[in-house]
């Protein structure tokens, strides 16, 4: 493992269930104690270790971690209250309240298609069987904003190795849960629900590609795709599909929600590329949430060393 990515193993037993964390916060708030990281100090390496009630943060845990460029992680509040999750709302600030009561347990992920060992995993088994580690990654949205997020998760490759893709498998297709009664956005006729995404098999096997089960040392908050979502840090954020229930190995390039809606705007690859403008806006710079001035966008979102070799034969302006 390349320690550039600040990969820190995290035992799943050390992670406080999110609901427990929230209810303890509510309790302490009701008791007049403003809380934050103290509840997490024992569960997340790197999360600031200040005691109750020293931490004055009204909005959750704090962290002084940085990415490998020395840029600080975004606040827990920013990460969990400014979200793209169209199943709940197209308004980023509305996702958190609307997803508050979303049911994430029981949860299973079915892995099937061109594999020797198809398997349906309960989320508990995923947490137990795959060593969870922390990965601090930049997330760059195609809308030209970005964040640095301390995810908890594990390489997708570990799960794929367990199900053994056959020699004919070339792509991996991912599907979000379809539950319109709980996700009102899925009533919108403008999108082909459920949300789908896809990767080439070598992209899926790349060590940077993770299935994330948490952030800030906590189980995945609902607005960020609880209980399990994909994170592909060198691609625009829409490739990182949330709340996954199906993973299919196939020899056909998967249809994706955004490519279906806007084939000329959202390519299958969608690697972060400052030199290729989106038809409606430039991708040369971005606004890091929490900062005022814009910063230049980096090719492959700064991960060229790890991923550029996969595209050596491709014209990335053509295969966007
Ligand atoms: N996954 C699903 N199922 N639905 C969505 O609307 N939005 C995508 C991606 N995954 C989306 C999704 C987009 S556009 C972005 S930028 C990221 O999630 C945002 O992730 P975040 O809210 O955790 O920052």
Q: What pLDDT was estimated at residue 251?
A: 98
Residues 219-233: tens digit of each pLDDT: 999 999 999 999 999
pLDDT confidence bin for 6, thresholds 50/70/90: very low
- Cβ of 137 closer than 6 Å to ligand 1, yes or no, is no
Cis peptide before 308 (omega within 30 of 0): no
pLDDT confidence bin for 215, thresholds 50/70/90: very high
Cβ-Cβ contacts under 8 Å for 267 (sequence gap 6 or more): 259, 319, 320
0.85 surpassed by pTM:
yes
Q: Whose CA is nearest to atom 6 of ligand 1?
A: 85
Q: CATH says 9-311 is which class? A: alpha beta
> 68, 64, 42: which is closest to 137 by C-alpha?
68
Tokens in use for 82? 């400014």
Does pLDDT of 13 surpass 80?
no
Q: How far apart are CA 38 and CA 236, in angstroms?
A: 34
How far apart are the CA of 34 and the centre of ligand 1, in A? Answer: 30
Residues 240-287: tens digit of each pLDDT: 999 999 999 999 999 999 999 999 999 999 999 999 999 999 999 999
List the chain domain ranges. Answer: 9-311
Q: How far apart are CA 33 and CA 233, in angstroms?
A: 37
- Cβ of 102 closer than 6 Å to ligand 1, yes or no, is no
Q: How far apart are CA 214 and CA 285, in angstroms?
A: 28
Does pLDDT of 19 surpass 80?
no
Q: Give CA 154 to chain center in angstroms.
A: 12
Q: What is the mean pLDDT of the chain?
A: 87
Q: Whose CA is nearest to atom 12 of ligand 1?
A: 241
Q: Which string of b and e fits 191-225 if b means at least 16 CB within 10 Å? A: bebbbbbbbbbebbbbbbbbbbbbbbbbbbbbbbb
For range 40-55, the mean pLDDT = 34
Q: How far apart are CA 237 and CA 191, in angstroms?
A: 17
pLDDT confidence bin for 21, thresholds 50/70/90: low
Q: What pLDDT was estimated at residue 277?
A: 94
How far apart are the CA of 234 and the centre of ligand 1, in A? Answer: 15
Q: How far apart are CA 141 and CA 130, in angstroms?
A: 28
Pairing of strands 244-250, 295-296: unpaired
Residues 104-158: tens digit of each pLDDT: 999 999 999 999 999 999 999 999 999 999 999 999 999 999 999 999 999 999 9
Q: Whose CA is nearest to atom 23 of ligand 1?
A: 224
Tokens in use for 285? 């710079």
């Amino acid at each position: 493992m390349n320690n550039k990515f600040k990969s820190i193993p995290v035992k799943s037993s050390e992670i406080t269930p999110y609901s427990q964390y929230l209810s303890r916060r509510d309790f302490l708030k009701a008791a007049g104690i403003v809380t934050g990281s103290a509840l997490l100090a024992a569960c997340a390496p790197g999360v600031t270790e200040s005691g109750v009630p020293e931490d004055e943060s009204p909005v959750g845990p704090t962290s002084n971690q940085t990415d490998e460029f020395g840029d600080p992680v975004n606040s827990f509040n920013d990460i969990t209250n400014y979200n793209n999750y169209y199943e709940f709302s197209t308004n980023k600030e509305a996702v958190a309240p609307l997803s508050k009561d979303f049911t994430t347990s029981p949860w299973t992920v079915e892995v099937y298609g061109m594999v020797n060992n198809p398997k349906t995993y309960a989320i508990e088994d995923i947490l137990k069987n795959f060593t969870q580690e922390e990965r601090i990654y930049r997330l760059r949205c195609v809308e030209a904003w970005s964040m640095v997020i301390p995810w908890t998760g594990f390489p997708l490759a570990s799960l794929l190795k367990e199900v053994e893709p056959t020699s004919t498998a070339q792509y991996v297709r991912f599907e979000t849960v379809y539950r319109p009664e709980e996700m009102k956005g899925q009533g919108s006729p403008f999108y082909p629900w459920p949300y789908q995404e896809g990767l080439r098999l070598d992209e899926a096997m790349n060590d940077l590609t993770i299935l994330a089960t948490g952030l800030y040392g906590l189980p995945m908050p609902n607005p960020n795709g609880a209980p399990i979502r994909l994170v592909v840090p060198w691609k625009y954020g829409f490739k990182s599909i949330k709340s996954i229930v199906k993973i299919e190995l196939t020899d056909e390039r998967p249809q994706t929600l955004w490519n279906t809606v806007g084939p000329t705007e959202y390519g299958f690859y969608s690697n972060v590329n400052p030199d290729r403008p989106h038809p409606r806006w430039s991708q040369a710079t971005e606004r890091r949430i929490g900062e005022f001035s814009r910063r230049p966008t980096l090719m492959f979102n700064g991960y060229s060393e790890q991923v550029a070799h996969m595209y050596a034969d491709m014209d990335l302006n053509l295969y966007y």
